[in-house]
Structure 1
Amino acid sequence: MTVVPVSAFVALGANLGDAAATVRQAITDLGTLPQTRLVRASRLYRSAPWEASGPDFFNAVAEVATLLDAHALLAALHGLEQAAGRERPYLNAPRTLDLDLLLYGDDHIATPSLTVPHPRMDQRAFVLRPLAEIAADKVSATTLAAVAAQDARPL
């Protein structure tokens, strides 16, 4: 029996240190995760912090093909965050790297540690615009229009 990889989408963001370089490196690092291949990634987008203060964020969205289950993929993403020096001192704190699992195939997951589709992705232009760039079928025109006033500009 052949095992088929799942297509998953990951949001990347950073606003501490050389944030743009960190996001670019994290995109590359996604392809080094076990049983995972980087399929494509959006351009970088720049946006003001969401519900917090601090430097602007650099964001992107990447698609991976993975044989990892959703929870194992999330754990691997947390490992990349940790390797980049991620700390979580308080909610919405500035960060060296933030990786969110947006979509995992067509799965709907609701556990204490993971909700997929990501529960707030439809509210954030810095997620929707790069996602639409690489997977237009995943974002409706209505959803994009709802965040049109938000700041998220491609570099």
Structure 2
Amino acid sequence: MSRQLEELGGITLLGSQKTHYPDQYAPGILEVFDNKHPGNDYFVKFVCPEFTSLCPITGQPDFATIHIRYIPDQKMVESKSLKLYLFSFRNHGDFHEDCINIIMKDLTGLMQPKYIEVFGEFTPRGGIAIHPFANYGRPGTPFEQLAQKRLFEHDML
């Protein structure tokens, strides 16, 4: 197993029996590995149905399903590190829209994907559900146009 992890370029969390769950926002916990198919354009999708964060005003918990879709370039996010990163929002106080934009920006900075989108389906509180969407497409490429199209057409009825 350790040889496989070495080949993945220093992944430290996957396979570890000593997992530490962060109690504060922890973008540094994210890990990447090399994309073995950088010449192919394809989507990777994560669905995280147990996301929690805190309302920055009341301190009450907010619950969401987070959908992350991206087209990788050279690097890909390792899923266990992503799980721990998302868990780190558990005690983080920010509005729904902020959480989604922070996640998108952290992952963009980490992986430099061709395209990424993050969508949050927050459960209703006070009778209102909030569903923020943020995306990015690499400037000067067709992925920039994809980002604009997806943003303009996102969730249209």
TM-score (norm 1): 0.36
Q: Relative contact order: is structure 1 or structure 2 higher (C-alpha 8 Å, sep ≥ 6)?
A: 1
Could you say which structure has the larger radius of gyration? Answer: 2
TM-score (norm 2): 0.35
